[in-house]
Amino acid sequence: MKKRFFILFLCLASIFLVACGKSKSTSSTQSRQLPQIEGFSYYGDIPQAPKRVASMSASYTGYLLQLGLTIVAATSYDKDNPILEKELIQAKQVMPTDLEALAATKPDLIIAGSTEENLEQLATIAPVIAVEYGKHDYLQVLTDFGKVFKKEKEAKNWLDAWQDKVQASKAKLEQALGSDKTFTVMGLTEKEIYLFGNNWGRGGEIIYQALGFQAPKKVQDEVFPKGYLSISKEVLPDYVGDYAIVATDKKTTTSSLYESDIWQSLPAVQNKRVLNVQAEAFYFNDPKALDYQLKILEDALLATTK
């Protein structure tokens, strides 16, 4: 009888220990319920309040800073961005392929683009959130990050303030310019011409979505669906509207386009309605970029009416 009782005791003890082991494993890998967001993929145990974030996709650095997160590593695009210069002064410049340098920054969370090829390797350094670009619009992304980090209130506060700024700016510009002017958003290198749509940075989100200005029909038909389009200068007149916003980076000191008869013949050029902007500050569409770009564009557009 005693022998049977002892065997039963051992079996119950074994079951209890296995159950405890499973419970401990589950709690360590799923310490909190992460929001299921389309376009967001999680690798590892994502902290709710990370202290040392490595932003390995420049598209999202401004969102993270807006929510008050500390960035310890950022890409060259971020370090070259004059909008983020002061906030990233302590961050190390690291590219996502340099795993050793990234590990040396001791991040507790890594943010990366979903197309990054070494996501699993990044996840050996720290938990990773991989974000698919364009899955949600540029404003919704802030709400998405707010859900992940339990900062929904901070996200909403900025979005509410942004809508107020946009409405005020729109009223000023419509009064000064009218509402029927067409805009073309461009990017120039020394040898290439790019056109950008309403969701590919360079101020397109502000001009077309926030302020509601229209693009020439060919831009709407050929550029908007793809996001951007490379063209030759010979066809440029077919795409340039009443105003042109031209983004050039600091490496592009000259462009042969400016000296061409085609460029000089454009009504936007002749009417002094070309706005030159710094590409490094206009690449992206995060909250930090949007606040800066709206102010720059509003002032420049109002100046064309004086």
Average pLDDT of the residues in 88-95: 97
Q: Strand pairing of 228-231 and 193-196? A: antiparallel
260: left (phi over 0), alpha (psi -120 to 50) or beta: beta
- Are 50 and 109 contacting, i.e. CB atoms less than 8 angstroms apart? yes
Does pTM surpass 0.75? Answer: yes
The angle at the Cα of 172, spanning 167 to 174, to the nearest 5 degrees, equals 90
Which among 193, 185, 196 has a CA at the least distance from the CA of 252?
Answer: 193
pLDDT at 45: 95
d(CA 132, CA 31): 24
- Provide the pLDDT confidence category of residue 25 given band limits of 50, 70 and 90: very low
Is the confidence at residue 184, as pLDDT, over 80?
Answer: yes
pLDDT at 64: 98
Asked whether this chain's domains 40-153 and 174-303 adopt the same fold, the reply is yes
E runs forming strands in 77-162: 92-93, 109-113, 128-131
- Provide the pLDDT confidence category of residue 250 given band limits of 50, 70 and 90: confident
d(CA 211, CA 206): 6
Q: What are phi and psi of 216, to 5 degrees?
A: -55, 155
pLDDT tens-place string over residues 96-121 = 999 999 999 999 999 999 999 999 99
pLDDT at 127: 98
Average pLDDT of the residues in 5-12: 41
- Give exposure, 266-298, as e/b (b: 16+ Cβ within 10 Å): bebeeeebbbebebbbbbbbbbbbbbbbbebbb
pLDDT at 22: 31
Cβ neighbours for 288, distance < 8 A, ≥ 6 positions apart: 62, 65, 66, 83, 84, 87
CA distances from 143 to 60, 102, 185 (A): 12, 27, 27
pLDDT tens-place string over residues 192-221 = 999 999 999 999 999 999 999 999 999 999
pLDDT at 306: 87
pLDDT tens-place string over residues 55-69 = 999 999 999 999 999
- Provide the pLDDT confidence category of residue 14 given band limits of 50, 70 and 90: very low
Q: Where are the domains of the chain?
A: 40-153, 174-303
d(CA 49, CA 53): 10
Is the confidence at residue 3, as pLDDT, over 90?
Answer: no
Average pLDDT of the residues in 120-149: 96
pLDDT at 128: 98
CA distances from 80 to 74, 84, 122, 138, 279 (A): 10, 8, 23, 21, 10
Class of domain 174-303 (CATH, top level): alpha beta
CA distances from 198 to 12, 34, 195, 227, 260 (A): 64, 31, 10, 7, 27
pLDDT tens-place string over residues 274-290 = 999 999 999 999 999 99
Average pLDDT of the residues in 78-84: 96
Q: What are phi and psi of 74, to 5 degrees?
A: -145, 160
Structure tokens at 178: 């009218």
Please give the share of the chain, as a percent, with pLDDT higher than 90: 84
Is the confidence at residue 17, as pLDDT, over 70?
Answer: no
pLDDT: which is higher, 17 or 60: 60
pLDDT at 253: 64
d(CA 21, CA 207): 57
Average pLDDT of the residues in 88-99: 97
pLDDT at 273: 97
CATH superfamily, domain at 40-153: Nitrogenase molybdenum iron protein domain (3.40.50.1980)
Greatest Cα-to-Cα distance within the chain, rounded to the nearest angstrom: 106
Average pLDDT of the residues in 8-25: 37
d(CA 3, CA 235): 94
